[in-house]
Amino acid sequence: MNALKTTFAGLKLNNPIIISSSSLTDSVEKNKKLAEAGVGAIVLKSLFEEQIMLEADWLGDPSMYPEGSDYLVEYVRQHKLSEYLMLIKESVAACNVPIIASINCYHDAEWVEFATQIEEAGAAALEINILALQTDVQYKYGAFEQHHIDILRNIKQKVRIPIIMKLGDNLTNPVALIDQLRANGAAGVVLFNRFYQPDIDIERLKQSSGNVLSSEADLSRSLRWVGIASAAVKGVDYAVSGGVHSLGGVVKAILAGASAVEMCSVFYKQDANSLMTEYLTFLKQWMGRHGMESIEQFKGMLNVHDLKGINTFERAQFMKYFSSKEVFNNISHTY
């Protein structure tokens, strides 16, 4: 198993498979079973700023509770935070793998202080998600990216544990942002966070939820940007999130430059023990076939080495791909 060890965001992992933030990681019992199954690390279910504030605002409506609105708002907030801190403490005590806390936030004023409590509760690292669509007509270019930097900088002033930034895919230039995050102390970057997937029910004439789980098709997006960013921005670790469904997905992510992968969807579909056995067995066998003695030996082997030239991760490759007559013939047969 030593051959499968890797380091992500300063954390030493027995293998590169991290369970990402989800309902799979919202209890001590679930986390203990995942650790026993052999995962490399666990990201706890995110604490959502929006959810807490909406609930607090509703309970704190002065028209409903004129004398106790402020008390109720603070009670809800503290209750949710206390529950989360207890989840961290108990999971750390029950699991022999790194426990990573997760916050999904829009603002930094409230959460900077809470980050210190997360550190005190024993979390090995803190993953920050700033997932939001920018739809304001008066939006100032670059403001969303700067918001990431500001939140990271303020949190880094308060805590010593590694900070991991999990980014959405709605960024014009992830590489430039990653470089600034590195400069401001980010230890790791995860590409990418998954947005809520909307759909429309044409019979009931209402909005509905689309696919909740990722698909294997999502992997290529993360491979592209990890492949580019890991070559351009050194000094920060990368993890791929989304689309790791096949046994070879972990290998692909590492070849592109990732130190680890965050997985979720496949663990909803199959038992964790059998999944971990399959993935780790495949990874060891693949490494044996290719003469790889460690993860570090092939990490980034297929990222973008020539950043100034044309490469398979950039748009120019599109023309090369579709210049093949065989590809066009195959496409025409599908319609």
pLDDT at 104: 86
pLDDT at 50 over 70: no
Mean pLDDT across 274-286: 97
101 bridge partner residues:
126
Q: Reduce the DSSP state of residue 189 to 3 states and report it.
A: strand
pLDDT-derived band at 250, boundaries 50, 70, 90: very high
**What's the gap between Cα 308 and its chain centre?**
28
H or E, element range at 284 = helix 272-289
pLDDT at 68 over 50: no
Nearest one of 39, 45, 3 to 26, comparing CA atoms: 45
| Torsions phi, psi for 270 (to 5 deg) | -145, 155
d(CA 74, CA 56): 7
Mean pLDDT across 40-58: 72
The single-letter code of the amino acid at 263 is: M
The single-letter code of the amino acid at 37 is: A
Cβ(16)–Cβ(297) below 8 Å? no
Burial of 311 (C-beta count, 10 Å sphere; 0-12/13-18/19+): middle
Average pLDDT for the chain: 85
pLDDT at 227 over 70: yes
**What's the gap between Cα 271 and its chain centre?**
21
d(CA 167, CA 188): 11
d(CA 260, CA 240): 7
Q: What are the boundaries of each domain within the chain?
A: 2-309
pLDDT at 163: 98
- Lowest mean pLDDT segment, chosen from 48-57, 107-116, 168-177: 48-57
CATH code given to domain 2-309? 3.20.20.70
Cβ(231)–Cβ(305) below 8 Å? yes
The pLDDT tens digits of the residues spanning 82-124 come to 999 999 999 999 999 999 999 987 666 666 778 899 999 999 9
Q: What is the pTM of this model?
A: 0.86
Alpha helices in 138-264 (DSSP H): 143-156, 174-183, 219-232, 249-256
Give the range with max mean pLDDT: 1-5, 142-146, 214-218, 268-272. 268-272
More confident residue, 242 or 39: 39
pLDDT at 313: 65
